[in-house]
Amino acid sequence: MSLPFQTAGRAPDARSAAAGSPPHGAREGWRRPYRPGPLRVAGAAVLLLLASYVLLSTLIIAVAGGPLSACASLAVGVLLIGLALRLLRVGVWVSAQGLRRVGLLGTTTLAWAEVGAVRTRQQPVRWLGLPRTVQGQAVSVERAADGEPLRALVTDHSADFLGRREAFERAADVLEGWAAESRPG
């Protein structure tokens, strides 16, 4: 029995997967051209586990009769859930409109007309976003107007690609493919 849907990891045909080009139906909405890494998912799972304990303690505090403490505990639980969801959204997103880099605290969106070049470079990169740097690869974007490079989009030592070199290379190829197809001129 064949199922009428495709899994998230399968491209519509082998040619578009090999070329790194986006599937035809997926160009309208924002989508991440790679899967979140196991470290990012594990971090979000730990935050959600912690939030469940905080929300259970909120229930106990509310039953015991401390409404102000219960509200404060509820706020902490909701904050932890929001942080976990934001952690899962961190990364690079592409669409027909442009390129979007979602960070934990902010988002940068560039229209394809503003993107000069998307390149993979060998450079010092931050290990898991910490201050320690190691030699690695990074996908960077240069603005079309002044040629100034932005902060690296993805690195091979980030939470999405640490220990997953093939996944980083596929993601870099897909990002470069989206940029080549979508930039005007």
pLDDT at 27: 59
Residue 149 belongs to some domain of the structure: yes
On whether both 98 and 170 belong to a single domain, the answer is: yes
Mean of pLDDT over the chain: 82
Q: Do residues 80 and 139 share a domain?
A: no
Looking at the fold, whether 98 and 128 belong to one and the same domain comes out as yes
Task: Tell whether 78 is covered by a domain.
Answer: yes
Residue 49 lies in a domain: yes
Specify the 3-state DSSP secondary structure of 116.
strand
pLDDT number for residue 116: 80
Q: Dihedrals φ, ψ of 126, to 5°?
A: -80, 135
The C-alpha atoms of residue 116 and residue 185 are separated, in whole angstroms, by 11
Q: Are residues 100 and 82 in the same domain?
A: no
Task: Mark whether 153 and 101 lie in a shared domain.
Answer: yes
Task: Identify whether 7 is part of a domain.
Answer: no
Query: Residue 161, Cβ neighbours under 10 Å: how many?
Result: 24
Distance CA(185)–CA(182), nearest Å, equals 9
Question: How would you classify residue 129: left for phi > 0, otherwise alpha for psi between -120 and 50, otherwise beta?
Answer: left
Domain end position, chosen among 88, 116, 149: 88
- Domain count for the chain, please give it: 2
Q: Is residue 129 part of a domain?
A: yes
What's the pLDDT at 147?
66
- At residue 4, the pLDDT reads 55
Domain carrying residue 52: 40-88
pLDDT at 17: 47
pLDDT the model gives residue 16:
47
Establish if 35 belongs to a structural domain: no
Specify whether the CB–CB gap between 183 and 112 falls below 8 A.
yes
| The pLDDT value given to residue 81 | 97
Per-residue confidence in pLDDT tens, the chain, 185 aa = 554 544 455 555 544 444 454 444 555 788 888 899 899 999 999 999 999 999 999 999 999 988 999 999 999 999 999 999 999 999 889 888 888 889 889 988 888 888 888 888 888 888 877 788 888 888 888 887 776 667 777 888 888 888 888 988 998 898 888 888 877 76
d(CA 170, CA 178) in angstroms, rounded, equals 12
Domain limit, last residue, from 32, 64, 88: 88
pTM of whole model > 0.85? no
At residue 46's C-alpha, the angle toward residues 44 and 50, to 5°, is 115
In a domain, 1, yes or no: no
Let me know whether 116 and 169 are in one domain: yes
84 and 105 in a common domain: no
**What are the tokens at 19?**
């070329």
Q: Which of 147, 131, 149 is nearest to 139 (CA)?
A: 149
